[in-house]
Amino acid sequence: MRISELSARSGVSIASIKYYLREGLLTSGQQSATNQADYNEDHVRRLRLIRSLIDIGGLSIAKVRAALTATEDETTPMHDAFGAVMHGLDELPTDDASTDIAAAYDEVQAWLEARNWKIEDGAPAPYRLAELIATLRRFGFPAAATDFDNSADFVERTAEAEVQYARSMPDRTAAVETMLIGTVIYERALVEVRRLALEAASFRLDETD
Amino acid sequence: MRISELSARSGVSIASIKYYLREGLLTSGQQSATNQADYNEDHVRRLRLIRSLIDIGGLSIAKVRAALTATEDETTPMHDAFGAVMHGLDELPTDDASTDIAAAYDEVQAWLEARNWKIEDGAPAPYRLAELIATLRRFGFPAAATDFDNSADFVERTAEAEVQYARSMPDRTAAVETMLIGTVIYERALVEVRRLALEAASFRLDETD
């Protein structure tokens, strides 16, 4: 299909498609006899993925590129590719951690060990969690890594099935795409469900006042 | 304290403090005899709140203003103030919903009703959840509002305690601030814990391969 049809099918403007091509997020179409680029279903799917990562995941172009690079190298073991994708979603803190964040980070590491959750060195999520714990404490909330045991028990129940589902895809690109979409959309959905629960709880409390 | 001390205490630059004052996110200091503005602990706390909403919640200045406005009017009933805060965190979709989102939205409303969760008309979260469900379907995931029953059961368990804790604060400003910080930080923490669980699950699957 031509770029105009690709745009109509994916809902992404031609200008944006050209930008993603220049930025290397999207592979070029096949040159046809008339010297026009010819696009296929993979391009439609990839464009939808890019838009979802930007619109729903709030990712920058650089982060989308980092996450998608993991889909390309077929020699990377699957677990490492998934790691690259997950780590690409988050950012490592740029400045040196303050004392309270460093203390919270040690707690998070001990907590991960106690749960027997193996996380790659340098993964951003433990740092991020430590920052959040330190921030809660600055606001006077009593907070500890072990507070998240209930949440961890809950998400752990479905995590393996989710990873297995992604790995069951016919090829690596589909596997990594599935993992990315699953992660970004389901975590966003969890946030929305949580907000709904809080609003519903607030309403109930008003009724019983 | 002077603006230089306020900056040192809050970790927010003087330029940013002046910007927040101009944008109305921060109330002016008391004019002292020497015609200098004098700031207090409320300003330190408010600045930390603003930074957390921006850095952790990823909120724009306009959204921070919308969320904080709810703390100001003492005549608004508490539940409405909480609603304004929660709704200020999210955005309503700007364009007309496509057919598949509209269908998902009806499902979400029926699901909320079945759960007996009372959500204000026009709240953004049901729309957002509908968008997510429609997006999952576009990617070929089988998705339904009822898929989120387990998540809803989980977050529901602590939602009332969380709202009650916020309402137990000595004044409305503290109550709304607590609700805001609690919402933004705990939902972010839940996302990080979920990512950790996925990475740990991926590692375990590799080991048993």
Contact A136 B197 (CB under 8 A): no
Partners of A48 on chain B (C-beta within 8 Å) are 138-139
Q: How confident is the model at residue A3 (pLDDT cuts 50, 70, 90)?
A: very high
More confident residue, A111 or B157: A111
Those residues with Cβ within 8 angstroms of residue A196's Cβ, 6 or more apart along the chain or in another chain: B112, B117, B119, B125, B126, B129, B152
Q: Which of B146, B151, B207 has the most A C-beta neighbours within 10 Å, making it the best mutation to test the interface with A?
A: B151
Weakest-pLDDT range from A147-156, A185-194, B36-45? B36-45
Q: Are A159 and B197 in contact (CB under 8 A)?
A: yes
Test A206 with B78 for CB contact under 8 angstroms. yes
Quick check: A58 and A64 in contact, CB under 8 A? Answer: no
Interval A23-58: pLDDT, tens: 888 988 888 777 788 999 889 988 988 988 888 877
Q: Is residue B66 part of a domain?
A: no
**Are B197 and A125 in contact (CB < 8 Å)?**
no
Q: Does B179 score more than 90 pLDDT?
A: no
Q: Would residue B70 count as lying in a domain?
A: no
**Model ipTM value:** 0.89
Where among A35, A55, A75 does a domain terminate? A55
| B121 found inside a domain | yes
Which residues make Cβ contacts (< 8 Å) with residue A100, sequence separation at least 6? A134, A137, A138
Q: Over the stretch A134-151, which tens digit does the pLDDT of each residue have?
A: 989 988 888 999 999 999
> What CATH code is carried by the domain that includes residue B16?
1.10.1660.10
- Contact (CB, 8 A) for A154 and B154: yes
Q: Is B87 contained in some domain?
A: yes
Contact A55, A10 (CB under 8 A): no
B169 located within any domain: yes
**Domain match, B113 and B38 both:** no
Which residue of chain A has the CA closest to B177?
A139
**Which of B59, B58, B72, B82 has the alpha carbon at shortest distance from B26?**
B72
Q: What is the mean pLDDT of residues B176-203?
A: 91
Do residues A31 and A82 share a domain? no
Among candidates B128, B164, B185 on the partner chain, residue whose Cβ is nearest the Cβ of A135: B185
Model confidence pLDDT, tens digit, residues B49-90: 898 888 887 788 888 887 787 667 777 777 788 888 888 887
**Confidence bin at B35 (pLDDT 50/70/90):** confident
Q: Which of B109, B155, B167 should we substitute to test contact with A (largest number of A Cβ atoms within 10 Å)?
A: B155
Contacts of B106 (CB under 8 A, 6+ apart): none
Percent of chain A with pLDDT over 90: 43
Quickly list H helices, B58-171: 61-69, 78-89, 99-115, 124-138, 149-167
A148 lies in the same domain as A171: yes
pLDDT at B94: 66
pLDDT band at A126 (very low <50, low <70, confident <90, very high): very high
Which of the residue ranges A42-51, A113-122, B29-38 would you say has the lowest mean pLDDT? B29-38
Do residue A155 and residue A96 come from a single domain? yes
Q: Is the pLDDT of residue A177 over 90?
A: no
What pLDDT shows up at residue B209?
A: 58
Give residue A34's pLDDT. Answer: 76
Average pLDDT over residues B134-158: 91
pLDDT at B129 over 90: yes
Residue A97's Cβ-count burial label (10 Å; 0-12, 13-18, 19+) is middle
Q: Do B190 and A193 make contact, defined as CB atoms within 8 angstroms? A: no
CB contact under 8 A, A125 and B192: yes
Question: What value does the mean pLDDT take over residues B3-10?
Answer: 92
Chain A contact probe: residue of B42, B85, B147, B192 with most A CBs at under 10 A: B192
**Enclosing domain of residue A12:** 1-55
% of chain A with per-residue pLDDT over 70: 96
A63 and A130 housed in the same domain: yes
pLDDT of the residue at B205: 86
B201 and B163 in a common domain:
yes
When scoring A10, A56, A155, A184 by the number of chain B Cβ atoms within 10 A, the one with the most, hence best to mutate, is: A155
Give the mean pLDDT of B135-162.
Answer: 91
Of residues B187, B198, B201, nearest to A194 (C-beta): B187
The two most distant CA atoms of chain B are separated, in Å, by: 74
Is the domain of A150 the same as that of A169?
Answer: yes
pLDDT of A2 above 70? yes
* Per-residue pLDDT at A76: 76
pLDDT in tens, A5-25: 999 998 899 999 999 999 888
B188·A141 Cβ contact <8 A: no
Residues A118 and A102 in one domain: yes
Confidence of residue A180 (pLDDT cuts 50, 70, 90): confident
Nearest-CA distance A48 → chain B (Å): 8
What is residue B116's three-state secondary structure? Answer: coil
Angle at A109 between CA A105 and CA A112, to 5 degrees: 135
- Show the tokens assigned to A167: 């790995």
Which of A30, A55, A80 lies at the terminal end of a domain, its last residue? A55
Percent of chain B scored above 90 by pLDDT? 43
Do both A109 and A45 map to the same domain? Answer: no
Contacts of residue A203 in chain B, CB cutoff 8 Å?
79, 118-119
Q: Which residues contact A172 (CB under 8 A, 6 or more apart)?
A: A71, A74, A78, A81
Same domain, A194 and A127: yes
Position with higher pLDDT, A17 vs A78: A17
Position B207, amino acid: E
Please indicate whether, in this complex, the C-beta atoms of A156 and B117 are within 8 angstroms of each other. Answer: no
- The token duo for B192 is 């990080």
Whether residues B36 and B116 fall in one domain: no
CB of A48 within 8 A of CB of B139?
Answer: yes
Domain count, chain B: 2
- Distance, in Å, from the CA atom of B136 to the CA atom of B141, rounded to the nearest integer, reads 5
| DSSP-assigned states of every residue in A139-160 | TT----GGGGHHHHHHHHHHHH
pLDDT at site A89: 81
Q: Which residues of B touch A160 (CB under 8 A)?
A: 201, 204-205
What's the confidence (pLDDT) of residue A94?
A: 66
Residue A38 per-residue DSSP state:
E
Is A119–B205 a contact, with Cβ atoms under 8 angstroms apart?
no
Inter-residue contact A125 to A88 (CB < 8 Å): no
Nearest residue on chain A to B129, alpha-carbon basis? A189
Lowest-confidence pick of A78-87, A101-110, A165-174: A78-87
Size of interface A-B (CB pairs under 8 A): 234
Give me the residue from A117, A118, A185 closest to B136, CB to CB. A185
Q: Are residues B100 and B151 in the same domain?
A: yes
Residue B62 lies in a domain: no
- Closest CA relative to residue B208, chosen from A160, A14, A67: A160
Tokens standing for residue A4: 């105009």
pTM for the model stands at: 0.88
